Structure formats: C-alpha cells, structure tokens
Amino acid sequence: MNTERPDLNRIAAEVNACQRCPLARTRTHAVPGEGPHDVEIMLIGEGPGYHEDQQGRPFVGKSGKFLEQLLSSINLTREQVFIANVIKCRPPNNRDPLPMEMDACTPYLQQQIELINPLLIVTLGRFSMGQFISADARITRIHGKPLRQEGRIILPLFHPAAALRNPQWQKAMYEDAAQIPALTEAVRQIRAQHAEEVDDDLEQLSLF
Ligand code: URA
C-alpha cells in the first residue's frame, strides 16, 4: 500500500498516465494543471482545448491570453494561482465533456483542491460551476455572485472563451474578477483568526 501523502506532482503523474476513460486514447497530452501548492486562489476551467492538448498546459491559447489579462487587471500573474480544469484530457473537437468522463476525472480535481486548500475557487464557465453549484444554476444569473462552501469562497465567472465569443460579457468578467482581492483577503483574515470555525465566521460576510 502506498502510504505517501499525495502531492501535486504525484497527482500530475497519475493524470499523465491515466486510462480511466476513452479520452486517454485520443489525447496528445493530459493537462493536469499547474501552479504552486501554496497558492490562495485556484482557477478552474472546463477542459483542455487544442493548444493545451498539444502542450500539456492549461489555458495557453487565446482563452489563456484573456485569462492572463484578467489576472493582470487585479495585479496577479498566472504563476500566483493554480490553474486546473474539470477534465484533464481534451474531448475530440472540443465537444462538451460527457458525464462519465467527468465522473472519471473529478477525483483528481478534488485531490488538488484538498491539497491546496485555497481560500477562493474561481470557476470558469458552466461545467466548472456545476462542480460546486447546482447544475441547474444559470451562469448568466449567478456569475460574479460569491458563495461560501467548506471554509472557502466560490466565485463563478463566465468562461474566457465564451467572453471572447460574446464581447458584451467581457466587462462583466472584469467586474466579477475585481472582487477577487477583497474576497481573498476576507477569507484570509477569517482563517487566520479562527482556524476552527471558518464556516461560522464566513456567515458574517454579507454575500449574495
Ligand atoms: N479552456 C478550458 O476550459 N481550459 C483550458 O485549459 C483551455 C481552454
């Protein structure tokens, strides 16, 4: 039995060798995600596209450029956050991930979240949102509305690719992202003061 504590590198190695679903046969590279283990913020997208599949890195295409601009607008770089996806291998022709693919893959994301224990999770797009918030929720209604969950805050944002296709959503994305520093600081302070009762204390924040 392997009793070693899983770390991000080990999870990445498992993802790179994963054969849990048929996407293993069509991928060029799996895309485990990247970033330091001690970050406060995780950004979670849907799944790799063409460029990510080619390079084995998340958000390296046009969506990635937009994401980097968004981060820069709040004085962050991609090296200061952990960037991951719900599914780690590219679906052929960028089709939506299938439920069985997500079921097979999300344990990796859950392990990454457990290890990093971020203060804030920013979901990008509806598939990522659906991992944390009811799948019936409509992203057009709840984007930018933070909610508390398990001692942290989840902030749903549009997907960068959707914002590139619908330029009228780009302003919303910048406005939604502008909340990230204050939300992170709020959870940081609460965790520092009351490590034990984070969820109770989060109740005091006036969220939506
Ligand atoms: N879109 C995603 O959801 N993830 C990526 O890594 C790239 C594009």
Looking up residue 142, the CATH number of its domain turns out to be: 3.40.470.10
Structure token pair of residue 130: 């659906």
Q: Give residue-wise pLDDT tens across range 106-161.
A: 999 999 999 999 999 999 999 999 999 987 889 999 999 999 999 999 999 999 99
Parent domain of 161: 6-205
Give dist(CA 94, CA 88) in Å, integer.
13
Residue 54 lies in a domain: yes
Pocket test for ligand 1, best of 51, 85, 157 (most atoms within 8 A of CB): 85
Q: Which residues line ligand 1 (CB under 6 A)?
A: 45-49, 52, 58-59, 63, 85, 161
Q: C-alpha dihedral over 171, 175, 180, 182, to 10 degrees?
A: 160
Average pLDDT, whole number, for the chain?
Answer: 93
Among positive and negative, which fits the CA dihedral 187, 190, 194, 199?
negative
Atom of ligand 1 nearest to the CA of 159: 3
Q: Give residue-wise pLDDT tens across range 72-111.
A: 999 999 999 999 999 999 999 999 999 999 999 999 999 9
Pocket test for ligand 1, best of 27, 42, 46, 53 (most atoms within 8 A of CB): 46
Residue 152 lies in a domain: yes
Q: How far is the CA of 194 from the centre of ligand 1 (A)?
A: 35
Instruction: Give pTM, 2 decimals.
Output: 0.91
Residue 30 lies in a domain: yes
Residue 1 lies in a domain: no
**Number of structural domains, the chain?**
1
Q: How far is the CA of 67 from the centre of ligand 1 (A)?
A: 10
Give dist(CA 110, CA 53) in Å, integer.
21
